[in-house]
A and B are shown apart, each in its own frame.
Chain A
């Protein structure tokens, strides 16, 4: 009458994972680039499951936009991706300009391109320095920050701010470039190729660096699209999408540059894409400098753009416009736009919805870091725990943008 019972039939323990443990990496861990916590399920040193836990830096910026006038919102955007503030400025002001249908003068467009590419180099410098530091290569960090410092000095010369420039305004720029900026920028461009050679020697040619990055954190092109990866992470998987080329803005279609694409989809491929982008950005900055011709830097829209100081002292109507813009703001016609740009980390999209008043009804930032981080489990499961550090470095995340 008795039924035969297999000895292990009711055994609930999965013996293959007997050594499994859960490890909480972060939120205060030097290699998570901010306050990111990873819940790692480990089998020995192998990652079985990775769950990112974010929100530690959440400051309600998207809520704050709804309580600030359009021009006040620019300051908030600086603090999102704090390594690429000019890119954030650009996406935000271009969303508002699209709603207002403003024509931006040529000089302002060229200066925007110039600074966005300088900022891209600065952002990539931080990425290269810190991700190399995570893998134990210390000296490259100092070389990177030395170059970044030069760019921050250039940004400071133009806007007065190093990390939080708020240089792009709705309708143009805050102010024109200072005297002698050309030469300082040219000096930087002349010195930068030497620095690039240094990086290639220290990182690219380094066998330890190669063995730590090759075949680590592989993601295929289809998976990358499925996870919504953009920017260097997508181009490292063989999908050559760059919004500067494919959804052009601020006249990028008239510049001559290549889109670096690598096909391996590993940490090394993403590293190579960013390294090659540095050369391209260098090329674009040089072209932008050559195109710099004297001209207006603000759109001809007195109800939106702040008048020059000098103008205000001479003309009554300029003074009135200035007062109204500062005290009451300007109205933007109702509507909604989605303005994507190619930031240093990928597609930075601003969804802006206006209800016709001086404050937006809804502003949403589609941060590239937010989406790229979501794909971390797909890349790191099955890898060693030390490689998770390399993968986080290759994603180039900024928690200020992820948590907003």
Chain B
């Protein structure tokens, strides 16, 4: 099943070998690590030339405060033409948790990126409206980071 997915990986390698980091094939899914400066180019290439026209999901993950790079941003691409899925992954270190936005490619990325910013503090450069989305605008901290306690720092009150 993943054989077909490797065609897209090979096409990416052919287009620009710098785009590809590690490629992981597990559980019938292919994950491609992409250096963060190339993520928009790689996404545009997959969208325009290989039919991955729907951004199914974009989400972050925290590997823990002692890890470097600490944050992951996962892009789950889906095609409404050939129905394949591909996961792109960008790794970000804590002191420079910034990646370029893909809202220029998919409008769907807007809320997903806002949520990732809200929960992990990852900044999406060039996002038109990067505000908190689920938490209140005056909330302190990023709730899904591993060092954020489950019950928060102090009782939160709405003013």
A210-230: which residues lie under 8 A (CB-CB) from chain B? 225-228, 230
CA A60 – CA B150 in complex, angstroms? 9
A353 touches B54 (CB 8 A): no
The verdict on B143 contacting chain A, using a C-beta distance below 8 Å, is yes
Q: A55-B135, A246-B83, A374-B111 are in contact. Are A347 and B27 (CB under 8 A)?
A: no
Question: Which of B57, B62, B108 lies in contact with A226, CB distance below 8 A?
Answer: B108
Q: Please determine whether B57 and A225 come into contact, CB atoms closer than 8 angstroms.
A: no
| Contact of B29 with A by CB under 8 A | yes
Q: Which residue of A lies closest to B114 (CB)?
A: A374
The verdict on B94 contacting chain A, using a C-beta distance below 8 Å, is no
A225-B134 in contact (CB<8A): no
- Would you call B80 and A241 a contact (CB within 8 A)? yes
Q: Within the complex, what minimum Cβ distance (angstroms) separates A127 from chain B?
A: 22
Task: Find chain A residues with CB under 8 A from B132 CB.
Answer: 55
Task: Specify the main secondary structure of chain A where it touches its partner.
Answer: mixed
B106 interface neighbour in A54, A99, A226, A403, Cβ under 8 Å: A226
List chain B positions with a Cβ less than 8 A from chain A: 26-29, 31, 53-57, 59, 61-62, 74, 76, 78, 80, 83, 85, 87, 106-108, 110-112, 119, 132-136, 143-144, 148, 150
Contact between chains at B144 and A228 (CB < 8 Å): no
* Residue from the set B29, B54, B85 with the largest chain A CB neighbour count within 10 Å: B54
Say which size band chain A's interface belongs to: 35 or more
A370 CB-CB contact with B under 8 Å = yes
Q: Are B27 and A337 in contact (CB under 8 A)?
A: yes
Q: What residues of chain A lie closer than 8 Å to B112, measured between beta carbons?
A: 371
Further contacts, 15 of them, CB under 8 A, given A67-B150, A362-B61: A55-B136, A58-B134, A64-B150, A101-B27, A228-B106, A228-B107, A230-B54, A337-B29, A340-B85, A347-B78, A351-B57, A351-B76, A362-B144, A371-B108, A374-B111
**Chain B residue nearest to A55 in the complex (CB):** B134
